[in-house]
Amino acid sequence: MSHLVLSVPETVTSHYVIATNDPLDDPRAAVPWRVAEEFRPAAVEALKTPRLGVFTIAADEATWRLDGLLASDDDRRRVRESSHQILVVHRAPTAAQPRGEQTARAVARAIADACAGTLIDPQARQVVLRDGLARLERGWFRMGDQWFGTRYEFEGGTARPRHDGDLRAMETCSCLRLTLLGLRRFGLPDLVIDQVACAHDLAALNLLRSLACRLLTDQWQWARHHPGKATRPVHDHPKIDPEDFWNFWAATPFVDSHPITTRLIPISRTTLKVAPPSDYPGTRATWAREVLVPSMPPLVGCPADEDSPHLHPAESEA
């Protein structure tokens, strides 16, 4: 087994965008009493420093693209019709994650609440929910709380698969490419898996989520225990355990899953490709059907165990 070398940036940068028709004269003034109490002191201190910036621009002056967002039709309309955008820019040491990022999103939530705006996470390409499981920022970190988005792309750049929902074709096609977005805000490359049958998209997505949990947990531990070290070795054939999936959701297992070994292939500075092990004797389709699908829980998502002050495996150490 060989190793990859991943960079561990000293600092990472993230952005949040609030689309609104009612821009605030002073967005920072909305923060103290609207931020969840857990993050209020850190938010107030961060706003006094250059590491957390807040800027307001007219919507037609924006240079970033907000099309292709995962959002409801109503949120898409609100974003499209908004007159202004408030940008929250966060820059923090990698070793201070994920707490620093939670503080930044708590600030963005507070501003969105104050101006009745729609909160957008451009790096995950999605609108951040205002209620439900995502609600206010938790006092501890759960990876499944909308920190990562997913991009689905079909072979040939088509908007939908060409088999038109034929069940047999969905089992045998290889037209889908999935990308897990949002890892770069934590200093890691995005993860992509391609040549996926449409019927196996959930298993492929859950593999990416499990792998993200493993890579991130290891990254934060490395950053804390090796300060100033700019790179770290990573096995190019990592073994993903069922605990990685359940830790992503901070949940207790309630359906069966199995360990799975994958292969990581760097395809650019910002992207790692996930593939079957190099010594797997069968085809990609056989691996997906006989190894990937039985290994991953068939769950779109699941609620966290009851919130409590105890540390979860994916949580940053104080």
Residues 257 and 170 reside in one and the same domain: yes
pLDDT at 309: 42
Name the residue among 232, 231, 240 with its Cα closest to residue 212. Answer: 240
Interacting residues of 134 by C-beta distance below 8 A, sequence separation 6+: 128, 145, 146
Q: Tens digits of per-residue pLDDT, 95-120?
A: 889 999 999 999 999 999 999 999 99
Please give the average per-residue pLDDT across 43-68, as a whole number.
90
Identify whether 195 is part of a domain: yes
Rounded CA gap, 141 and 101, in Å?
A: 10
DSSP state of 182: -
Residue 311, pLDDT score: 41
Pair (97, 170) in one structural domain? no
Q: Is residue 270 part of a domain?
A: yes
Determine the Cα–Cα distance for residues 86 and 91; give it in Å rounded to an integer: 17
- The answer as to whether 290 is a domain residue is yes
CA distance 185 to 294: 31
Residue 310 maps to a domain: no
| pTM for this predicted structure | 0.90
Burial 37-55 (b: 16+ CB within 10 A, else e): ebbbebbeebbeeebbebe
C-alpha 225/C-alpha 217 separation (Å) is 12
Q: Tell me: do 55 and 190 sit in the same domain.
A: no
Same domain? For 116 and 155 the reply is no
Same domain, 113 and 162: no
Residue 31's CATH number: 3.30.1400
CB atoms within 10 A of CB 25: 7
Residue 253: count of CB within 10 angstroms of its CB: 13
Torsion from C-alpha of 273, 277, 279, 285, nearest 10 degrees: -90
User: Same domain for 273 and 199?
Assistant: yes
The answer on 122 and 33 residing in a single domain is: yes
Whether residue 290 sits in one domain with residue 238: yes
**Would residue 33 count as lying in a domain?**
yes
| Of 193, 207, 196, 219, the residue nearest 274 (C-alpha) | 193
| Per-residue model confidence as pLDDT tens digits over 7-41 | 999 999 999 999 999 999 999 888 888 888 889 99
* Residue 296 CB contacts under 8 Å (≥ 6 apart), including other chains: 202, 203, 206, 207, 210, 245, 257, 260
The answer to whether residues 75 and 38 belong to one domain is yes
Average pLDDT rounded to a whole number, residues 57-73: 87
225 and 105 both lie in a single domain: no
Same domain, 77 and 118: yes
Co-location of 158 and 121 in the same domain: no
What pLDDT was estimated at residue 171? Answer: 79
Structural domain boundaries enclosing 214: 149-295
Residues 178, 259 contacting (CB under 8 angstroms): no
| Percent above pLDDT 70 for the chain | 90
Q: How many domains does the chain have?
A: 2
> What are the tens digits of pLDDT across the range 129-143?
875 433 578 888 999
